[in-house]
Amino acid sequence: MAWDFETDPEYQKLLDWADEFVREEVEPLDLVLGDPYDKADPRHRAIVRPLQRQVRERGLWACHLEPELGGQGYGQVKLALLNEILGRSRWAPSVFGCQAPDSGNAEIIAKFGTPAQKERYLQPLLDGDISSSYSMTEPHGGADPTLFTTRAVRDGDEWVINGEKWFSSNAKHASFVIVMAVTDPEVSAYEGMSMFIVPAGTPGLEIVRNVGVGPGLEGREGSHGYLRYTDVRVPADHLLGEEGGAFAIAQTRLGGGRIHHAMRTIAQVRRAFDMMCERALSRQTRTGPLARLQMTREKIADSWIEIEQFRLLVLRTAWLIDRHRDYRKVRKDIAAVKAAMPKVLHDVVQRAMHLHGALGVSNEMPFAAMLLGAEALAIADGPTEVHKITLARQLLKEYEPVEGLWPSGHLPTRRTAARERYADVLERAIGNE
Amino acid sequence: MAWDFETDPEYQKLLDWADEFVREEVEPLDLVLGDPYDKADPRHRAIVRPLQRQVRERGLWACHLEPELGGQGYGQVKLALLNEILGRSRWAPSVFGCQAPDSGNAEIIAKFGTPAQKERYLQPLLDGDISSSYSMTEPHGGADPTLFTTRAVRDGDEWVINGEKWFSSNAKHASFVIVMAVTDPEVSAYEGMSMFIVPAGTPGLEIVRNVGVGPGLEGREGSHGYLRYTDVRVPADHLLGEEGGAFAIAQTRLGGGRIHHAMRTIAQVRRAFDMMCERALSRQTRTGPLARLQMTREKIADSWIEIEQFRLLVLRTAWLIDRHRDYRKVRKDIAAVKAAMPKVLHDVVQRAMHLHGALGVSNEMPFAAMLLGAEALAIADGPTEVHKITLARQLLKEYEPVEGLWPSGHLPTRRTAARERYADVLERAIGNE
Amino acid sequence: MAWDFETDPEYQKLLDWADEFVREEVEPLDLVLGDPYDKADPRHRAIVRPLQRQVRERGLWACHLEPELGGQGYGQVKLALLNEILGRSRWAPSVFGCQAPDSGNAEIIAKFGTPAQKERYLQPLLDGDISSSYSMTEPHGGADPTLFTTRAVRDGDEWVINGEKWFSSNAKHASFVIVMAVTDPEVSAYEGMSMFIVPAGTPGLEIVRNVGVGPGLEGREGSHGYLRYTDVRVPADHLLGEEGGAFAIAQTRLGGGRIHHAMRTIAQVRRAFDMMCERALSRQTRTGPLARLQMTREKIADSWIEIEQFRLLVLRTAWLIDRHRDYRKVRKDIAAVKAAMPKVLHDVVQRAMHLHGALGVSNEMPFAAMLLGAEALAIADGPTEVHKITLARQLLKEYEPVEGLWPSGHLPTRRTAARERYADVLERAIGNE
Amino acid sequence: MAWDFETDPEYQKLLDWADEFVREEVEPLDLVLGDPYDKADPRHRAIVRPLQRQVRERGLWACHLEPELGGQGYGQVKLALLNEILGRSRWAPSVFGCQAPDSGNAEIIAKFGTPAQKERYLQPLLDGDISSSYSMTEPHGGADPTLFTTRAVRDGDEWVINGEKWFSSNAKHASFVIVMAVTDPEVSAYEGMSMFIVPAGTPGLEIVRNVGVGPGLEGREGSHGYLRYTDVRVPADHLLGEEGGAFAIAQTRLGGGRIHHAMRTIAQVRRAFDMMCERALSRQTRTGPLARLQMTREKIADSWIEIEQFRLLVLRTAWLIDRHRDYRKVRKDIAAVKAAMPKVLHDVVQRAMHLHGALGVSNEMPFAAMLLGAEALAIADGPTEVHKITLARQLLKEYEPVEGLWPSGHLPTRRTAARERYADVLERAIGNE
């Protein structure tokens, strides 16, 4: 037990296998297959199933789950290291059974669902046979639950849901949606909201449009559903967890997810970094390769420092979660990770893009999507400002105001105290001179 | 004659008219019409022609041109102020007869073209009946002409062109392309390249693909042609200007263009800024509108300072051009404008986007295109680094190394000199005490 | 009347004279003389008086004053251009009769003082025979007047003042102090404070210590007096202006002062910039002078852009003051200048310091003082944050919240409106195809 | 063996003891005692000796030394954690027997010295009876050894040294100086320089002046000796190590020193951070304590993120040193630490200073010294730029240029390869639809 910056050799072997497997077998899928959420596409099944089998054989399938659901109980540090590999490829999370939002949805059904809910919704989700959506953010309230207005009212054996949600990722391919709605407007949002499972096709559930992240391309479909609920009726047993328990469930869902997200972001950043270095060596200018120019070298050096520092912060946070087993004790660390994440991605990608010249900004390279992804990260799951404020508030708890700070207090006060304390010694010493 | 930060009242009236006209009549076109370069679309002609007539009546049609071509001889400051209005709308430059690359192409044909070239290519371009492309950047050489490899060889009465160009904007709609090619590889690029007019449809001229700026959307067509020239033959009289004169012509073409570009950029930045302020007042949070939060206010304040400062730099540069009538004397100013431009656009747009939350990153708003536009600006017409180095080199010409800088030189030296000079006075003064 | 970025030729000649005069005659004084506030030092008088005579002969002595006090009515733009020269030297303001805080104190006595006050305090101040101090900032309240607690109570024919002030510049050399104190605690600070002239030596007026800006050097005296007022009695006729009028007087005092301060700051920045360029050319590295390195060039280019942009912002603000003759109409511009000023100084000085290596951080060069000066600027006369908030608040007044911003409003709304407007034309156009 | 972010419990107890000891017993010394290098001051001995005894009893005295010299063989991670405590106080390194430059000088004498040198110079240094100086940097060559010109020539049984060195810290109190001089100008600096021990008082060794870091205070003595060597003669046995071995010795000296320096810097940063948080809670504004303002919270949050990230980078580097036991293998990590260090210190201190208002910039607080310290850090032991370039060069070694990067290469190439690979499966899958 002492500072250590590497994992145990056995797990490292697994990581090495995953690393090669993702590079050789999974990354190419990003270049030939479409949207991983589209379970209906027969090409997906044909190509992906055999790969998923290999993952299962190594014990890495859905390994973030609790052991009773088939997971390995790895803890957040190990999961973080795995996600650092999976983040390189759009398809890797599907191949490894941890594609958001399905993975998070599976977790909360496993933890809070009834046996019937588990049978009907959890198992096919775990098997990758269906996909799902998570419907929380509202057009007017962003990600702040205290501003949500979508309402569910009990009517006999049913709940009737009305309202609007958007950025419900993957809604168009989802077999069901988990929606968060106000059930008791008299109490605070933290106690007055509940979660419901709404099967696709339920009357009144409408996809107004599918919003994309990116430049405005009218007619181009995005993947974030803007959903309207008009008198949507679900049976009473489609309540997920307790009535009024939605906020607590939502927090659970975030748990390690933010760490995994951060490590997948690092994977993206590193891809951009690798491409930047390759470009710097490959591109010739009048005076040699770009890599010879000081300005290029500064970009590379700054990027590496930023990536490495952020990565260590994420891993330390994962380690703190494993150690405390209580997310409340690492709230400030998680907030710090969330606040720092978009900037690292943005800054490194911007430099990599720039070093690629016109090619970099073109749609032949992945940088534009990454750069916009950084902006999306700075908003999703709460804007950066909110996380910085959370962090500062937690930090300030460890301090107290200083009485009479100035002019009588603080440094001058301490100086006076120190002088009084040593008055004798100082005098004696001088006396001895 | 003394410091003044506004234009004369008569021109201001014209600007006021243009401002209202663009807001009321032109900006809506961006929301209903397609690509302004597509001259074949009958809707374009039906809607745009009447608007162009109004512009002509005011004397603002193509007013950047020399008076003999129908321009007004306004000078760069006035053109800058007009472009600050036109930059708000994608369609405005077409409506006002100054759409790049057509406007630049028209200028060089007017200045360097033969009477036959003017009749065949210039007039329809000025009339907005056809559009054109400018084919300079190469895949391997970027915008650095010394690295260009596209070659034109004289063969009897023809020139035979071979090579590849890309980021040839609007090539897919162009009736002709102006291409820059090496005609004498024995001399420097500044003297060994020539320009040619290549009509669309000339055998051997192929659009490999149309590259876009943005996230990688395979199958989605961009507007920047990647052109391949394979034994493309044009008659000898399609040489534009003198043999070996391409570099000089290209410089002419840049002239005031960079200033216009900068002012159009400011128009974009200001649009983002306006939307940011409206959003700050409209969006409610738990504690009131976003506008009440310090972090929002800082974003707004920083943005205004950056915009105003940059705008004044651009206008001062325009004024210096008008005053010196020699671009070489304002090289450092133009380089400074070019180097500063992408950062202002990026930083303000990023803040505006962020304040719009999920909506901001979505394809329902223009921010993503603007943000990527900033990255494209940082590359187009030479990367920022090149312009900074030009600027520094020009600035350093005004200084000389200091002999024996240290330890004998500089401040200590000057201190000694000052003491010697005043020795008498100091002594006397003290004597008088 | 039209955009112009230079002054009239006659005034330019005066500036040219001042420029040479300051370089040749005044700057050396900084290297041989002590504190300009020390009017008692006989060397100062012996050397400075002849120089002041030359300034008077050119009509540039105290030329910021109203014409009736001997000023020239130059307006802020011209004064700004002069201050850009004076800011290069610590002694120049004394030589030109515009040394703060004496110049501001003279202005308010001239404007609000009684004839007796003018005779006793104004004239010797204008003549440079005495110096003065301005006692506003409080240890606990900073520069926010609403938090001030120093109190003046009327007692018969006298006012009795009690409280503490600090950062009262130059108090140790001052013949009198102008102090701001609460006279009516029942009303707001804007109406309940008054100003008093307190002659040096008045019983109860004590300099607790003289604080310096810089690294903690105990025993080293600074120039910012920390004053304690204990039952300080001044005659009733030492009230300056009306009872309750202190806030309004203080605002007057700031007036053009902030512009002059900003231009003097630019003078400092430019000195640092000049030294940076000279160093870049003089210092040899393994591969030639520092100036050849890209990283050096970027520092130089960035610095020039920042300086020029800021300078234009300041001059435009000066021009707006001259034009509106009402400071309230340029509040946002002045706030912007104040907010941007410390950053320009800091960033350029930091680069210049760094390029000087160990010499740069040493006490043999002026950079350390300049760098700390930038931090002091960011606090003096209100911290940067306050000015950014003022700026944002003023800017937001020009905007209104957008009704139904989202999802029904804004861009989508405008898109719908545009489509309806052009429905006919679009249909007809297509019909004609 | 697995990721771990804490030390073993026994060492943690020692650290806890040191932490309290430094806070309670050592930090007050900074407020009452003078320069730790001044071994002659009787007050120092009277107060410090008993504290040093306590440190010895705990086994923490000079514990960076090799075990054979009395150290503990702790390794760099443990030493780093201890230095994070010692860095809080100016006096702590003296109390713990690891004051630079004495500690580094002791190390190289221990490693390369003759028995006679050890007896005469090492033992009293280890005992804290004398102090020493390290004379490497030259006025004209900075810290780049290839530009050094100080020369030592063998003359019989003596070496004769001529040249100038500066920033020889603590020279004025030193009993001896270790100087680096060219002994063979025919070979490269890496093989042609040697080190010599020069006792204080040797004829020809002159302190031209003592330079300070800070604002220019003429007459105020700094602690960095500017030394002139004029025909300084030392006996041949005062050569330290082998002739020509100076560069290798100097590298040894840097070794873990940079890590210790970095951790002491973190201690300083954290002191500033603590004061910032206390101030935020203590200082009242119109609307409550500073801590309530968003802009304050952002400063606190950003600072914590920057500190924590940098600290983890330093500790990982320490761990890599312990693991590889070869500094060459962690060159890039050490360069990254050195390059990142000044910015963290600067940015956090600047914010803490600013939040303290006028008090912050005054000489009553330690911020000014810290801020200038950050600038000194950015120069000492090689400017930041040099370390960034070292880092980038090391990083680029791990990459290779990509053949035919574009247009045929890279992403498009990989896309084509992926399509070919999966052609069959894709076709079959579609066939099965």
* pLDDT for A45: 82
Cβ separation of D140 and B295 shorter than 8 Å? no
Task: Give how far A398 is from chain D: nearest CA, Å.
Answer: 9
The H or E element that residue C13 is part of is: helix C9-21
Residues of B in contact with A217 (CB under 8 A): 217, 220, 363
Ranges A417-421, B394-398, D46-50, most confident:
B394-398
Segment A108-121, tens digit of pLDDT: 999 999 999 999 99
CA distance C162 to chain A (A): 16
Which of D216, D361, D383 shows the shortest C-beta gap to C379?
Answer: D361
- Yes or no, beta carbons of A407 and C295 under 8 Å apart: no
* CB nearest C295 (choices: A139, A226, A298): A298
**pLDDT above 80: residue D431:** no
Q: Fill in the DSSP letter of residue B213.
A: B
User: For the segment D53-111, what is each residue's pLDDT rounded down to a tens digit?
Assistant: 999 999 999 888 888 777 888 999 999 999 999 999 999 999 999 988 898 899 899 99
Q: Between chain A and chain D, how many beta carbons pairs sit less than 8 Å apart?
A: 263
E strand or H helix that includes residue C117: helix C115-117
Are C144 and D222 inside 8 Å of each other by CB?
A: no
B287 or B398, greater pLDDT: B398
A403 pLDDT band, cuts 50/70/90, is low
Nearest to C293 among A139, A294, A406 (CB): A294
Q: What residues of B are in contact with residue C415 (Cβ under 8 Å)? A: 31-32
Residue B407: is its pLDDT beyond 50? no
Q: What pLDDT is recorded for position C433?
A: 42
Q: Which domains does chain C have, with CATH numbers?
A: 9-99 (1.10.540.10), 132-250 (2.40.110.10), 255-396 (1.20.140.10), 405-433 (no CATH)
How far apart CA D407 and CA D419 sit, in angstroms, is: 17
Say which range, A142-146, B262-266, C101-105, has the weakest mean pLDDT.
A142-146
pLDDT tens digits in sequence order for chain C, 433 residues long: 699 999 999 999 999 999 999 999 998 888 888 788 887 788 888 889 999 999 999 999 988 888 877 788 899 999 999 999 999 999 999 999 998 889 889 989 999 999 999 999 998 988 888 999 999 998 876 778 888 999 999 999 999 999 999 889 899 999 999 999 999 999 999 999 999 999 999 999 999 988 887 775 544 678 889 999 999 999 999 999 999 999 999 987 776 788 999 999 999 999 999 999 989 998 888 888 999 999 999 999 999 999 999 999 999 999 999 999 888 899 999 999 999 999 999 999 999 999 999 889 988 888 999 999 999 999 988 999 999 999 999 999 999 887 654 543 455 566 667 777 777 766 665 554 4
Q: Which residues from chain D sit within 8 angstroms of residue B141, using beta carbons? A: none
The nearest alpha carbon in chain A to D75 belongs to A3
> Which residues does B contribute to its contact with D (CB < 8 Å)?
139-140, 164, 166, 208, 226, 293-295, 298, 406-407
- State the nearest Cα–Cα gap between B433 and chain A, in angstroms: 39
User: Greater confidence, D431 or D313?
Assistant: D313
Spell out the residues 6+ positions from residue C43 whose beta carbon is closer than 8 angstroms to its own: B425, B426, B429, B430, C33
pLDDT of residue D433: 42
C364 and B412 within 8 Å at the Cβ level: the answer is yes
Neighbouring chains of A at 3+ CB pairs under 8 Å are B, C, D
Q: Which residue of B has its CA nearest to C31?
A: B415
Read off the pLDDT of each residue in A413-431 and give the average, rounded to a whole number: 68
Is the predicted pLDDT of residue A168 greater than 60, yes or no? Answer: yes
Give D-chain residues touching B140 at CB under 8 angstroms. Answer: 406
For range B360-376, the mean pLDDT: 90
The two tokens of residue B112 are 């360097």
Residue B128, pLDDT > 90, answer no
| Residues in B touching C9 (Cβ below 8 Å) | 1
B: neighbours with 3+ CB pairs under 8 Å? A, C, D
Amino acid at C414: R
The residue of D10, D12, D282, D432 whose CB has the most chain A CBs within 10 angstroms, and thus the best one to mutate to test that interface, is: D282
Residue A424 is predicted with a pLDDT of 73
Yes or no, beta carbons of B363 and A144 under 8 Å apart: no
Q: How confident is the model at residue D378 (pLDDT cuts 50, 70, 90)?
A: very high
pLDDT digits (tens, 9 = 90+) for A365-387: 889 999 999 999 999 889 999 99
Candidates A312, A344, A390: best to mutate against D (most CBs of D within 10 A) is A312
Q: Quick one: pLDDT band at residue B198, thresholds 50, 70, 90?
A: very high
A contact test, residue of C166, C295, C414 with most A CBs within 10 A: C295
Residue type, B277: C
For residue B212 the two structure tokens come to 């876009």
In this model, does residue A405 exceed pLDDT 80?
A: no
Nearest CA in chain D to B292: D294
In this predicted structure, the answer to whether residue D16 has a pLDDT above a threshold of 80 is: yes
Where do runs of H (alpha helix) occur along B58-156? 76-86, 92-95, 102-112, 115-117, 123-126
The alpha-carbon gap from A213 to the nearest alpha carbon of chain B, in Å, equals: 4
Predicted local distance difference test score (pLDDT) of residue B403: 65
> Is B362–A211 a contact, with Cβ atoms under 8 angstroms apart?
yes
Cβ of C298 within 8 Å of Cβ of A293? The answer is no
Please compute the mean of the pLDDT values over residues A169-195 and round it to a whole number. Answer: 95
Q: In the prediction, which pLDDT does A408 show?
A: 35
Q: Please write the tens of the pLDDT for every residue from A22-69.
A: 999 998 888 888 788 887 788 888 889 999 999 999 999 988 888 877
| Phi, psi values for residue A39, rounded to 5° | -70, -15
The pLDDT of residue D285 is 86
With CA atoms as reference, the chain D residue closest to B294 would be D294
DSSP structural state of residue C4: B
Residue B402 has what DSSP assignment?
P
CB-based contacts of B356, cutoff 8 Å, min separation 6? B275, B276, B279, B365, B367
Helices and strands of chain B, counted as H and E runs: 17, 10
Contact C166, C138 (CB under 8 A): yes
C36's CB contacts (< 8 A; 6+ apart) are C44, C90, C91, C93, C94, C99
Measure in Å the smallest separation between the Cα of D358 and chain C Cα atoms. 6
Those chains having 3 or more beta-carbon pairs within 8 angstroms of chain D are A, B, C
How many Å lie between the alpha carbon of D412 and the closest alpha carbon of chain B? 11
Structure-token match 């972001």, residue found: A265
Size of chain D in residues: 433
Q: Which of D82, D384, D81, D80 is nearest to A305 (CA)?
A: D384
What tens digit of pLDDT does each residue of C306-348 get?
Answer: 999 999 999 999 999 999 988 889 999 999 999 999 999 999 9
Does D164 contact B407 at a Cβ distance shorter than 8 Å?
yes
* B140–D226 C-beta distance less than 8 A: no
Mutation target to probe the B interface, by most B beta carbons within 10 A, among C1, C5, C331 is C5
Q: How far is C270 from chain A (nearest CA, A)?
A: 25
Q: What angle do CA A216, A217, A223 make, to 5 degrees?
A: 90
DSSP B277-333: HHHHHH-EETTEEGGGSHHHHHHHHHHHHHHHHHHHHHHHHHHHHHHH--GGGGHHH
- For D218-240, what is the mean pLDDT? 88
What pLDDT does residue D116 have? 95
pLDDT of res. B307: 98
pLDDT of residue B84 exceeding 70: yes
The mean predicted confidence, pLDDT, of chain C is: 89
Inter-residue contact A408 to D364 (CB < 8 Å): no
Which DSSP state fits A175? S
pLDDT for res B412? 56
Cβ contact, residue pair C32, B340, below 8 Å: no
**Rounded mean pLDDT, D31-51:** 84
CB contact under 8 A, D289 and A395: no
Q: Give the nearest partner residue to A220 out of B213, B222, B363, using CB atoms.
A: B363
Which member of C293, C295, C406 has the closest CB to residue A139? C406
Read off the pLDDT band of A122 (50, 70, 90). Answer: very high
Query: Could C362 and D140 be called an inter-chain contact, meaning their C-beta atoms sit closer than 8 Å?
Result: no
| Residues of D in Cβ contact (< 8 Å) with A43 | 425-426, 429-430
Q: Residue range B224-251: average pLDDT?
A: 94
Pairs of CB atoms within 8 A across A/C: 22
Say what the pTM is. 0.94
Cβ contact B298–D293 (<8 Å) = no
Write a three-state SS string for chain D. CCCECCCCHHHHHHHHHHHHHHHHHHHHHHHHCCCCCCCCCHHHHHHHHHHHHHHHHCCCCCCCCCHHHCCCCCCHHHHHHHHHHHCCCCCHHHHCCCCCCHHHHHHHHHHHCCHHHHHHHHHHHHCCCCCEEEECCECCCECCHHHCCCEEEEECCEEEEEEEEEEEECHHHCCEEEEEEECCCCCCHHHHEEEEEEECCCCCEEEEEEECECCCCCCCCCCEEEEEEEEEEEEHHHEECCCCCHHHHHHHHHCCHHHHHHHHHHHHHHHHHHHHHHHHHHCEECCEEHHHCHHHHHHHHHHHHHHHHHHHHHHHHHHHHHHHCCHHHHHHHHHHHHHHHHHHHHHHHHHHHHHCHHHHHECCCCHHHHHHHHHHHCCCCCCHHHHHHHHHHHHHCCCCCCCCCCCCCHHHHHHHHHHHHHHHHHHHHHHHC
In A46-150 the beta strands, taken as DSSP E runs, fall at: 132-135
Distance from CA of C105 to the nearest CA of B (A): 29
Report, as an integer, the average pLDDT of A155-179: 94
**pLDDT at D204 > cutoff 60:** yes
Tell me which chain A residues have a C-beta less than 8 angstroms from the C-beta of D385. Answer: 294, 298
Nearest-angstrom CA–CA distance, B340 and B4: 23
Residues in B closer than 8 angstroms to C298, CB to CB, are 385, 388-389, 392
